[in-house]
């Protein structure tokens, strides 16, 4: 994606909803918010409520208990999300949406666990004759000390990931430690005396949640190369597309991948030129083509090293993921806005559109209209423009609108209305740098496009690219 924004920043950001757009999708609300809330409901329905606020120390202990149970449950939920199970991804309508909520939930976990520790220490300080320091030492018992170790490990991993400016590969390796931290936390949460006896059904619930979290961690991080289903390909060619972009062409070694236009995959290449960690890339080929094509821009160590990969190298392909254009072929009026390398999902979408000679329900038809805005910093950066224009010439209703910042300035929603007409009933698809999608989304809402008609792809890796 381009490094500079391709749309003006909007002052309407202050009016954004508290929960970001497209963060949760349908039943995903229930799937991710229910687990942390169940302990609260069980506690409210228990005898523990009666004695919760009899003394200041008891009130602090009760608050600590609730913060710890909610934090532990949210931590377990995040490990389940990290597993990238396809069924859960479909609940969110796309992996990018799921990961956005994953990051927000991680912040909630950190807040709840810090609150738990502070409240526990506060309750200890408010109890006559109790030692605050003694609670942090092994003498407090292995059940309590397991919680101390778990919190220390959680804080250490979080500090390293936030302040260490790790590259993508080390970032993933450090994150895998969270599974071990959670296991230590499970010994504390499941074995601290008195919790289960006070709250009915809590032990059983925590056991189920713990099993799901550890299973997800093992599935993804522990035995991922064995358990996660992947397709195998070989590198057929790497085709340069300008100074910093290449199209990777893969030939299937077994059953080809079944995907929809606009989706992305994770690939791992068995070649010494690059690391073996999986990296996400958008598919640029159309479904049914004999090869799988991916467009890659050199923005970091991994992508810069890709040209050194030898043809014939084995490639693990995991996916597909995403629902960017799910059932989009049924929408009569569409506006597509691509910023820089954000053109990649649209390449697959354009290539999948039927040509003028094709017929059937999927044909564009006389009333189907799609405007594709191809935004780049300068005209020479639009490396796929010639191919897009050639494809559009044979696809009725598809119009390619190239705009370069140096010549045309940043695209605004007002210019989209001027070029494409009123946006009533139009579905807008955005893919590009986050400043671009943020600014254009707010501007589009201002000119009357409902948020549920604005779709965007915003996949962001953890760790820094350079």
Report all structural domains of the chain as residue ranges with CATH numbers, in order of start. 11-226 (no CATH), 231-321 (2.40.30.10), 328-457 (3.40.50.80)
Strands 245-252 and 292-297: antiparallel
Mean pLDDT of the 126-139 span: 91
For 94, phi and psi rounded to 5 degrees? 150, 145
pLDDT at 198 over 90: no
CB 191 within 8 A of CB 146: yes
CA 16 to CA 443: how far, in whole Å?
12
Residue with tokens 């956005």: 100
69-73 average pLDDT score: 95
pLDDT at 29: 67
Evaluate if residue 277 carries a pLDDT over 90.
no
User: Quick one: pLDDT at residue 459?
Assistant: 58
CA distance 31 to 24: 10
The pLDDT value given to residue 171: 80
What Rg, from alpha-carbon coordinates, does the chain have?
Answer: 25
> Which single residue is written with the structure tokens 């995907």?
259
Residue 15, pLDDT score: 39
Q: Prior bond to 250 cis, omega within 30?
A: no
> What mean pLDDT comes out for the span 406-427?
94
Cα–Cα distance measured from residue 95 to residue 100, given in angstroms and rounded to the nearest whole number: 9
- Whether a cis peptide bond, with omega within 30° of 0, leads into 320 is yes
Residues 151-168, mean pLDDT to the nearest whole number: 86
What pLDDT digit, counting tens, does each position of 328-362 carry? Answer: 878 889 999 999 999 999 999 999 998 875 444 44
Query: How many whole angstroms from its chain centre is CA 317?
Result: 18
Which residues contact residue 212 at a Cβ distance below 8 angstroms, ignoring those fewer than 6 apart? 76, 80
**226: CB partners within 8 A, 6+ apart:** none
Nearest to 217 by CA among 206, 228, 207: 228
Q: What is the pTM of this model?
A: 0.82
CB 113 within 8 A of CB 41: no
Whether residue 72 is predicted with pLDDT greater than 80 in this model: the reply is yes
Task: Confirm if 463 and 35 have CB atoms less than 8 A apart.
Answer: no
**Is the pLDDT score of 192 beyond 80?**
no
Residues paired with 265 in a beta bridge: 281
Q: Give residue 73's pLDDT band: very low, low, confident or very high (50, 70, 90).
A: very high
Return the pLDDT at 306.
87
Percent over 90 (pLDDT), the chain: 59
Query: Is 80 exceeded by the pLDDT of residue 215?
Result: yes
Portion of the chain with pLDDT greater than 70, in percent: 88
* pLDDT for the residue numbered 301: 78
Is residue 417 classed as helix, strand or coil in its secondary structure? Answer: helix
Judged against a pLDDT cut of 70, whether residue 5 lies above it is answered with: no
Closest C-alpha to 349, from 243, 255, 263: 263
3-class DSSP assignment, residue 334: strand
Distance between CA atoms of residues 395 and 391, nearest Å: 6
pLDDT confidence of residue 360? 46
Q: For position 24, what pLDDT does the model report?
A: 52
- For residue 438, the model assigns a pLDDT of 92
| Residue 11 binned pLDDT confidence (cut-offs 50, 70, 90) | very low
- Residue 370 predicted with pLDDT over 50: yes
Beta strands 245-252 and 333-339: pairing type?
A: unpaired
**pLDDT for residue 17 is more than 50:** no
d(CA 235, CA 293): 10
């Amino acid at each position: 994606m381009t490094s500079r924004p391709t749309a003006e920043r909007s002052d309407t950001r202050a009016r954004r909803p508290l929960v970001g757009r497209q963060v949760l999708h349908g039943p995903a609300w229930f799937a991710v918010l229910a687990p942390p809330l169940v302990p609260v409901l069980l506690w409210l329905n228990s005898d523990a409520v009666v004695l919760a606020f009899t003394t200041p120390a008891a009130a602090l202990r009760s608050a600590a208990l609730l913060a710890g149970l909610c934090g532990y449950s949210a931590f377990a939920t995040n490990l389940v999300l990290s597993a990238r199970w396809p069924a859960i991804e479909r609940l969110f309508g796309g992996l990018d949406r799921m990961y956005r909520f994953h990051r927000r939930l991680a912040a909630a976990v950190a807040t709840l666990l810090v609150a738990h520790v502070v409240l526990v220490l506060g309750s200890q300080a408010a109890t006559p004759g109790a030692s605050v320091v003694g609670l942090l030492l092994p003498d407090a018992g292995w059940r309590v000390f397991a919680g101390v170790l778990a919190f220390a490990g959680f804080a250490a991993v979080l500090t390293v990931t936030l302040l260490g400016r790790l590259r993508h590969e080390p970032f993933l390796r450090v994150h895998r430690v969270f599974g071990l931290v959670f296991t230590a936390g499970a010994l504390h949460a499941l074995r601290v005396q008195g919790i289960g006896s006070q709250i009915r059904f809590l032990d059983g619930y925590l056991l189920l949640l713990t099993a799901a979290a550890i299973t997800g961690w093992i599935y993804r991080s522990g035995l991922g190369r064995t358990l996660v289903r992947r397709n195998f390909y070989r590198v057929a060619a790497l085709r340069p597309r300008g100074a910093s972009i290449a199209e990777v062409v893969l030939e299937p070694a077994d059953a080809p991948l079944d995907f929809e236009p606009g989706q992305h995959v994770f690939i791992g290449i068995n070649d010494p030129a690059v690391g073996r960690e999986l990296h996400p890339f958008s598919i640029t080929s159309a479904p049914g083509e004999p090869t799988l094509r991916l467009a890659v821009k050199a923005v970091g160590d991994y992508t810069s090293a890709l040209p050194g990969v030898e043809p014939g190298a084995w490639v693990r392909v995991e996916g597909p993921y995403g629902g960017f254009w799910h059932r989009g072929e049924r929408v009569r009026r569409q506006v597509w806005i691509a910023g820089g390398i954000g053109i990649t999902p649209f390449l697959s979408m354009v290539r999948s559109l039927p040509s003028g000679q094709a017929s059937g329900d999927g044909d564009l038809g006389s009333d189907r209209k799609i405007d594709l805005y191809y935004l780049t910093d300068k005209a020479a950066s639009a490396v796929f423009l010639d191919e897009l224009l050639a494809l559009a010439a044979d696809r009725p209703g598809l119009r390619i609108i190239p705009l370069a910042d140096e010549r045309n300035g940043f695209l605004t929603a007002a210019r989209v209305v001027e070029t494409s007409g009123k946006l009533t009933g139009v579905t807008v698809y955005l893919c590009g740098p986050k400043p671009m999608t943020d600014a254009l989304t707010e501007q589009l809402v201002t000119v009357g496009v409902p948020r549920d008609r604005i779709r965007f792809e915003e996949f962001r890796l953890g760790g820094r690219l350079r």
